Structure 1
Amino acid sequence: MQTNRELIVEPVGLDPETLPKPLDWAVLYGNSNPVELEIGMGKGTFLNEQARSRPDVNFFGIEWARWFWRYASDRMRRHGCTNARTVRAEAGFFLTEYVPPASIDVLHIYFPDPWPKARHHKRRLIQPKFVPLMARAVRPGGRVQVVTDHKGYWEENIEPTIRGAADFEVVDYNRPGSANEGEFVGTNFERKYRREGRPFYAIAAVRRSDSLPRENITPVAATA
């Protein structure tokens, strides 16, 4: 990936080594607005559009691929998204070490890497061992939203994991306002795959108000 433009990540892009554990969202953003977090933000299309259209919400993005993280951070900086922050980090570790318990209003996971080869399925983000991390991060009544174009990943992991999670109740999927007609999210991946005629699968769930608090969780390797 290349661009003719210099990519400047600050002040949107943050260095995890300089951040406190856990984060204090009110200190980080300078307000007490709700926080929505996306795992695997890619080029930042979703976060950029959401941050610009919803200034009363704080948005946080996690991305492991360095170029995508830099590109997305620079993109949001150029568009004046003062309510957006990002890090380049491994998702499972960051959720465990940095995200305060029950502090996320919506957890967005769009088009996570399907790791299609059978020997790589253990690397998939959405699987039973990841549910405790989601339940720990999302507040009671908060949402998890997942979209994929990969039927195998959907049938083998995503749908049974989310639908079978005791901490969550499946609800209707909320299409973001920044998505175009007929789109689930409006990311670069979705628009590319839609042109190729691929089907899409989406699911949403809310954390049950009676689910037990999740405090000490062992990190799992997860990058999306």
Structure 2
Amino acid sequence: MVSYVQRGGRMTVGQQRAWEEHWPALGRKVAELPEGPIDFGAWFGREAPVLLEIGSGMGETTSQLAAAAPELNYVAVEVYEPGLGQLMLRAEKLGVRNLRLINGDAVVLLTRHVPENSLHGVRIFFPDPWPKKRHHKRRLVQPEFVALVASRLEPGGTLHLATDWENYAEQMLEVCSGEPSLKNRYDDWAPRPGWRPVTKFENRAREEGRISRDLIFERR
């Protein structure tokens, strides 16, 4: 089980600068982590609830969400290095101090470096939809993965998902509803939270007639 398909891409000058200036303090690579759990308290310099966002993309949403929740130790895991560079640029502009970045596979991170019952929340916003039916097996939200995520949530912790692909939304609902350690906070779809920024991709989906759907499940 892996959480992604690797994408290439070169960094811009600004992204490279952000990487050189900020990565040593803010970032770590999954492949270079020492064995055992990450000491998030030591890394952030404080004890606070840890929220993990899987797939931060170019950081448009992540930077704003971290800035809006200074009470959280906000962790973003992403495989695309230019995206993390862009996220650091955005965070720098917003003066964000409560954000740390991890480059690599979320499955490996969760399995080897995040203890059970330790996360306040996990967010997965607009993961790659793999719209062709023959590619659905590549989608991130599958039973094995959701069981892993659920095991890392503290009791009452939340798994919040969002997608603008109806078929994937239905798959997410089915998979998460089938995980016995999770319960849906709502009967089916969650109201779209006002605090989740509308990205250019979500606006494009609206223009193409696709409706975004949110799901929020709690750890029992």
* TM-score, scaled to structure 2: 0.82
Aligned counterpart, 2:212: 200
Aligned counterpart, 1:19: 33
**What is the total number of aligned residue pairs between the two structures?**
202
1:63-142 → structure 2 map (5 Å cutoff):
63-142=78-157
Letter of the 1:54 partner, please give it: A
Q: Is the 8 A contact 1:49 1:178 kept in 2?
A: no
What is the aligned-residue RMSD (CA, Å)? 2.1
CA distance in 2, matches of 1:165, 1:61: 24
Aligned structure 1 segments of 4 or more residues deviating by more than 6 angstroms = none
CA distance in 1, matches of 2:191, 2:28: 29
Match of 1:178 among 164, 173, 195: 195
Aligned counterpart, 1:58: 73
Q: Is the 8 A contact 1:101 1:139 kept in 2?
A: yes
Identity score, percent = 35
SS in 2 for 1:42: coil
CA distance in 2, matches of 1:150, 1:177: 20
Match of 1:158 among 172, 180, 193: 172
SS in 1 for 2:14: coil
CA distance in 2, matches of 1:14, 1:186: 28
Q: Is the 8 A contact 2:72 2:98 kept in 1?
A: yes
User: Structure 2 stretches of 5 or more lacking a match?
Assistant: 1-8
CA distance in 2, matches of 1:133, 1:147: 18
SS in 2 for 1:43: coil
Residue 68 (structure 1) shift: 1.3
* TM-score, scaled to structure 1: 0.81
Moved more, 35-44 or 193-202: 193-202
1:5 aligns with 2:20: no
1:34 aligns with 2:49: yes
Residue 144 (structure 1) shift: 0.4
Rate the CA distance shift 1:188–1:59 in 2: closer, same or farther, 3 A.
farther
Letter of the 1:31 partner, please give it: R
Q: Taking CA–CA contacts closer than 8 Å with sequence separation of 6 or more, which of the two structures ends up with the larger relative contact order?
A: 1
Aligned counterpart, 2:3: none
CA distance in 2, matches of 1:165, 1:59: 25
Aligned counterpart, 1:169: 183
SS in 2 for 1:143: strand
SS in 1 for 2:120: strand
